[in-house]
């Protein structure tokens, strides 16, 4: 949620995203047996399977981590540029 905030996503949209990802549950189907529904304990660290928003959030997080890592190197050159 911190990354969404610093990238300029408004609080209303952050709250919506937070509500979509909290209190997730999972139910496994193994061949002919289904398990009982259980809670995912990872909270916002888990991605919702099949949600079109999950890849976007993952890309934003990856981009943020890349930029943060590159800041540590300072000026650098690749292929003379």
State how far the Cα of 22 lies from the Cα of 39, in Å rounded to an integer: 10
23 pLDDT higher than 90: no
This prediction has a pTM of 0.55
Q: Are 3 and 66 in contact (CB under 8 A)?
A: no
Q: pLDDT higher for 3 or 24?
A: 3
pLDDT digits (tens, 9 = 90+) for 34-76: 666 655 555 444 556 667 788 888 888 888 888 888 777 767 7
Q: pLDDT higher for 31 or 10?
A: 10
12 pLDDT higher than 90: yes
DSSP summary character for residue 41: T
Q: What is the DSSP string of 51-65?
A: -THHHHHHHHHHHHH
Q: Sign of torsion, CA 59 64 68 71?
A: positive
Q: Which residues have CB under 8 Å from 20's CB, separation 6+?
A: 48, 51, 53
């Amino acid at each position: 949620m911190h990354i969404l905030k610093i990238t300029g996503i408004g609080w209303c949209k952050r709250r919506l995203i937070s509500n979509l990802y909290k209190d997730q549950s999972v139910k496994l189907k193994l061949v002919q047996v289904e398990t009982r529904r259980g809670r995912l304990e990872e909270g916002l660290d888990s991605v919702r399977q099949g949600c079109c928003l999950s890849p976007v959030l993952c890309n934003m997080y990856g981009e943020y981590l890349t930029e943060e890592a590159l800041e540590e190197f300072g000026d650098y050159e690749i292929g003379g540029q």
